[in-house]
Amino acid sequence: MDLKWLEDFLVLAETHSFSRSAELRGVTQSAFSRRIRALEEWLGTDLLSRDSYPVTLTPEGILLRETAEEVVRMIHARRAEFRDHARNRGGEISFLALHSLTVTFLPGWLMRLKAVAGQMTSRVKPENFDRCIASLTEGGYDFFLTYAHPQVNIPLDPAAYPYRTVGQDALVAVARPGWPAEWQSDGMPMLTYSRGSFLNAMARIALAQPGAPRVYVAHTDEASMAEAMKSMAVAGHGLVWLPRRMAEAEILSGRLEVVAPELPMEIRLYRNPARGRGLAGRVWNAATTLPQGYADSE
């Protein structure tokens, strides 16, 4: 259950209007309606009587309203307390990041960022691409760290959500050395990411490059976790496209070998300008002073 569902419900209980509530919450009406329905499904009961206008609360909705008000009040009070403690330690900065970047690029880059921007507490939420976009635009995080390529659309208006390129990586096709000879004639089994993930879009672009191997789909990872896909490749299940930073140790040790041309990609830091004052502004400025080369995570 997501806290914002309770916050949505409380706004709706006050306005009795889906359209007005969606406007106040800064989301589309369809997205707001989905979140209210998700809360009802999680609770297992209807909270609203939708047969009348304006909408009214069911008896269950009336009971939940009092509980929700207390829960939201307590959570926000505790959050304010924690953030006060964080400010006393130098402040808190929050990041959304693609899963693979949290285990490759982010740790080293964040240490150097803190050395330039000053002492702070950092909060990182690893997520898939679409959820990162949603969380940034909903305003709960300062920054979003993502891969980028000219052929993959990132639905963030640079005028509203500016970005800076903070690193470089490449997508590389790897497989366990000594794969069977029949793979060359029949095509190589390929491990794919779930549809809609950023790395899945990048892999499709890479497969269209000259020199890309002939493949067929042998396994799909619905969670789109690159670390899990790497383990599958090391075990010999087939070819997988990975960020080079993630596969570098296995390539150097001979556990994986490169089987296709690389596809360069940027690492970008997007900013939520509504949270751009103070520490977030210092972090944004400090990000420009760090090197962008591939080896900057070493």
Backbone angles phi, psi at 211, to 5 degrees: 90, 0
The answer to whether residue 65 scores a pLDDT higher than 80 is yes
pLDDT for position 252 = 95
Residue 26: pLDDT band (50, 70, 90) is confident
Q: Are residues 134 and 273 in the same domain?
A: yes
- 33 has pLDDT over 50: yes
> What pLDDT, on a 0 to 100 scale, did the predictor assign at position 298?
40
Give just the sign of the alpha carbon dihedral 140, 99, 117, 158: negative
pTM listed for this prediction: 0.69
Query: How sure is the predictor about 84, in pLDDT bands with cuts at 50, 70 and 90?
Result: low
Q: To the nearest whole percent, how much of the chain has pLDDT over 70?
A: 90
pLDDT exceeds 60 at position 35: yes
Structure tokens at 89: 């330690």
Percent of the chain with pLDDT over 90: 48
- pLDDT at residue 280, as a whole number: 85
What pLDDT digit, counting tens, does each position of 221-250 carry? 776 688 999 999 999 999 999 999 999 999
CATH code at 222? 3.40.190.10
Q: Max CA-CA distance within the chain? A: 69
List residues bridging with 268 in a β-sheet. 146, 165
Domain count, the chain: 3
- Within 10 angstroms of residue 39's Cβ, the number of other Cβ atoms is 21
122 Rama class: left (phi>0) / alpha (psi -120 to 50) / beta? beta
- Cα distance between the two ends of the chain: 39
The CA-atom distances, in angstroms, between 215 and each of 65, 186, 189, 224, 270 are 55, 8, 6, 19, 34
Task: Provide the domain limits for residue 47.
Answer: 3-85
> pLDDT of 161-194, one tens digit each?
999 999 999 999 999 998 665 566 678 899 998 8
129 and 49 housed in the same domain: no
Q: In this predicted structure, what is the pLDDT of residue 97? A: 95
Please indicate, yes or no, whether residues 103 and 154 belong to a single structural domain of this protein. yes
Do 227 and 286 lie in a common domain?
Answer: no
Which pLDDT belongs to residue 169?
95
Whether 160 and 273 share a structural domain: yes
Q: How far, in Å, CA of 31 to CA of 4, rounded?
A: 12
* 8 alpha-carbon distance from chain centroid: 22
pLDDT tens profile 137-160: 888 889 999 999 999 999 999 889
| Measured distance CA(102)–CA(107) in Å, rounded | 7
Instruction: List CB contacts of 133: < 8 A, sequence separation 6 or more.
Output: 144, 154, 155, 156
CA distance 295 to 163: 21
Query: Are 253 and 125 contained in the same domain?
Result: no
How many CB atoms are closer than 10 A to CB 29? 15
76 and 7 within one domain: yes
Residue 153 shares a structural domain with residue 285? yes
- Displacement of CA 136 from its chain's centroid (Å): 9
- Domain end: 85, 114, 134, which one? 85
Residue 295 pLDDT exceeds 50: no
Residue with the bigger pLDDT between 78 and 295: it is 78
Q: Which of these three, 41, 58, 85, is where a domain ends? A: 85
Binning pLDDT at 50, 70 and 90, where does residue 297 land?
A: very low
Same domain, yes or no: 142 and 279: yes
If asked whether residues 272 and 159 sit together in one domain, one would say yes
Query: Which residue stretches of the chain are H helix?
Result: 3-15, 18-25, 29-43, 59-88, 99-103, 106-117, 129-137, 182-186, 198-207, 226-234, 244-253, 279-287
